[in-house]
């Protein structure tokens, strides 16, 4: 009986490590599958997502100038 397993996949292109949950049939070669997933990683989408999450909040110019005054 197949069970859902968690696979840790490392993208060699953007060096991002991510997890995938998948139910693999016993006739699937896990190493090949993992490599395929790494090869198919959407590096651009990931980079965009990271850029969004890391985008600094716009600095409030009034507060910023108060500090130095």
Binding site for Zn ion (CB under 5 A): 11, 13-14, 16, 41, 43
Rg of the Cα trace of the chain?
20
**Residue number, 4 or 45, with CB nearest to Zn ion:** 45
Kindly state the DSSP code that residue 28 receives in the 8-state scheme: S
**Residue number, 3 or 8, with CB nearest to Zn ion:** 8
**Residue number, 22 or 38, with CB nearest to Zn ion:** 38
- Shortest reach from residue 68's CB to Zn ion, in Å: 41
Please tell me the distance from the alpha carbon of residue 22 to that of residue 65, in angstroms, as a whole number.
52
* Cβ(18)–Cβ(9) below 8 Å: yes
């Amino acid at each position: 009986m197949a069970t859902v397993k968690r696979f840790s996949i490392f993208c060699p292109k953007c060096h991002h490590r991510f997890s995938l949950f998948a139910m693999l049939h016993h006739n699937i070669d896990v190493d090949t599958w993992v490599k395929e997933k790494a090869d198919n990683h959407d590096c651009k989408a990931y980079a965009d997502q990271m850029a969004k999450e890391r985008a600094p909040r716009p600095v409030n110019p009034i507060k910023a100038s108060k500090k130095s005054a």
